[in-house]
A and B are shown apart, each in its own frame.
Chain A
Amino acid sequence: MGVLADIRATFAIAWTDVRLLLRDRAAAFFTFVFPIIFAMFFGFMFGGGGGERGKIEIAVVQLDQGPAATAFIEDLKKTGEISVKMVPTAEEAEAMVRKGEVIASIVLPSTFQKDFDNLLSTGKGPKLEGFVDPSRKAEAGLLEGRLNELAFRTMGKSFSDPAKMKQNLAKVKESIAKASDIDNSRKILLGAALQNMDSILDDNQKQAAAGKSDALSDPMANFRPVQVDLKELTRKRVGPTNSFEVSLPQGIVWGLMGCVTAFVSTLAHDRQRGTLVRLLSAPVSRWQVVGGKALAGFISCMLVQWVLIGLFAAVFNVKLTNPPMLLIATLASAFAFVGVMMFLSVIGRSGEGSAGFGRSVILVMAMIGGGTIPIFFMPKFMQTVSSASPFKWAVLAIEGALWRGFTPAEMMYPLLVLCGIGVVGFVLGVMMFRRAMKT
């Protein structure tokens, strides 16, 4: 008979198992309904759509210990809407942005003081470099404005010491006079400008004495005392913006668990009831039987994942920023769990025994793999332990595509782990299946 008949037979086996899952009320409940309830519950518990917006958290690296930099940071800390975390190196600060712990990082360069002092002569203030989470652009804009405002204030302090300022101006005049690359006409112009400045400072000095100190801000309205250069991280999105984006992968964990459990039971049942033997006595190869079962598991795993994703996208505004990547992630996790399924189905000698064992193993895996608590909430050592659970990798891949904004290269790691789990489980499962079926 032809390939067509073979495919038809394999699909008939797969379709049978999918129907058995959907028709078994308990299995269907634990595969589809329970995960939805669970993920909804946690979604609401974590704060619902949007999540609360607290302070803008930024990581600051101070490479210059001079008074200007220190004053700048002090001012930064005093503002109500910015929360500052001091970090020793620029790399660490950047990493914090990547992990979504802060929305931006800012480095005060080692030349901060010098640049600040030479602000007037060079026309360029200190350059603040850093990274910003592209998903938080609104806050980043706000931050940039804030930084300039603060720099003004810091500068204002030095301006409010006109003596120091005049000293600076003298330095500037001197350097202009000496400069060989500035032609004379310019020198005269600049000289006049500086003279004006001098008189402003004199006025200011008088006004300050009279108690009005903010006259400065007017003539310098368009002046940018610091150059803020915030690069967007290469990723599209970092960090969940909606608590349902956190609970959705959790729901998927439970859905996959329900799926695996149901299949382990179905196969156990098949072995016990003699239906498996009956299938094997039909003119189909063992590969077709195993393949049909695997296909059924695969279809069900995909189904449960996308039912959850679809529902959460439609109802809870979970944004699918990268659908192709998400598809790949779900394919890989379905593949991995088919392997787990195959392995757990045949691990025991008796059908029921393996089902019971399989259920407990999978429950523990789900719990440590992020089913109960999102992995990034776990303490460090638990995060390490959870690496042993296939669920963790499925969650990581799905989060990577959902809100971690993984690049394809970053995606490779969890995907490869998932594929590895799938292959190993499948090979072991098939080997043991063949042995169990030997007569």
Chain B
Amino acid sequence: MLRLEHLRKTYGSLVAVDDVSLEVRKGEVFGLLGPNGAGKSTTIGMCVGLVSPDSGSVEIGGVGAPTTDAVRRHLGVAPQALAIYDDLTGAENLSLFGRLYGLGGRDLSDRVHRALDLVGLMPRASDRAGKYSGGMKRRLNLAAALVHDPPLLLLDEPTAGVDPQSRNNILDTVRDLARAGRTIIYTTHYMEEAQRLCDRVGIIDKGRLLCVGVVDDLVRAHGGKSVVRVERAGKHERVETDDPLREIATVLAHVGPDGPATGVHIERPDLESVFLSLTGRSLRD
């Protein structure tokens, strides 16, 4: 559905995206996970034809590069920076974007309604977007990407700065879209989201794609061992293991000089640990 080959983009001496190759399959939710400044938005920009790569190529669904209108019609973009007009109502915003993608007439108003419904903004459809809460604006921003029902959606941090209620709505919407067969690229720096939502994840840092794969595989390959923390008479022990359940059984069976264990806690490796092991840094800083 989307194939990136040796994409590279520099701004002066800064390499924003460095030799990124990637294939996203039809119908999958692909997460692009990385810290601030990793090059996620730049990659998305190249995918939609807004940013022209220095080298490399982007190909959409076998139709070509996103530089022509015909190809762009297959794409829906929700930019990281909110791209909605505060002085237009929710419905008017969506009508505008629908028209930009060639919709009109009844078809347009039907799709506007459907998109508003999908993101749960129907009750506020005729309020100006400027009066929406931050989360509602995010949802409208998402709706603007899918009003023309494109097969490929590029969502750049669609949950940035959003309350839990809107976040859940957005994640549900994305899952519904995936179930309906849309291909989705989803960038985030929240590894929980990537883990919850994405079929496959690519981890990007400083413009380089460090690894790509199913979350479990990545964790198994790069996450390291699980950690079992044991509390015994106010003291903490830390045990690294490949098989945390067996380790716990052993710990509980063993009564040492300080008596039996009073608490046990498993820390499984996750994408955070994958990132840590690949970069030596935490995703959060």
Contacts and interface: CB of A to CB of B under 8 A. Distances in A.
A353 B52 CA distance: 26
Interface stretch (A41-49, A207-215, A278-286): A278-286
Interface stretch (B21-29, B73-81, B235-243): B73-81
Main secondary structure of the interface of A (DSSP, over half): helix
Given A20-B87, A283-B69, A8 B79 contact: no
Contacts of A280: 50
Nearest to B81: A274
B100 A9 contact: yes
Interface residues of B, number: 31
Interface stretch (B91-99, B223-231, B260-268): B91-99
A75 interface: no
Contact of A277 (B50, B99, B144): B50
Given A12-B100, A275-B83, A1 B88 contact: no
A20 B88 contact: yes
B82 A273 contact: yes
B82 A281 contact: no
A277 B69 contact: no
Nearest to A288: B100
Interface in A281-296: 281-285
A370 to B, nearest CB: 32
A284 B84 contact: no
Interface in A256-283: 273-275, 277-283
B87 A282 contact: no
B87 A23 contact: yes
Given A277-B79, A278-B79, A283 B102 contact: yes
A79 interface: no
Contacts of B111: none
A433 to B, nearest CB: 15
A281 B69 contact: no
A252 B26 CA distance: 57
Given A20-B85, A281-B75, 12 more contacts: A1-B69, A12-B100, A19-B87, A19-B92, A20-B88, A274-B82, A277-B50, A282-B72, A282-B101, A283-B69, A283-B102, A285-B69
9 contacts: A12-B95, A12-B96, A16-B96, A20-B85, A275-B85, A277-B79, A281-B48, A281-B72, A285-B69
Interface of B: 45, 48-52, 69-70, 72-73, 75, 77, 79, 81-85, 87-88, 92, 95-97, 99-102, 104, 128, 144
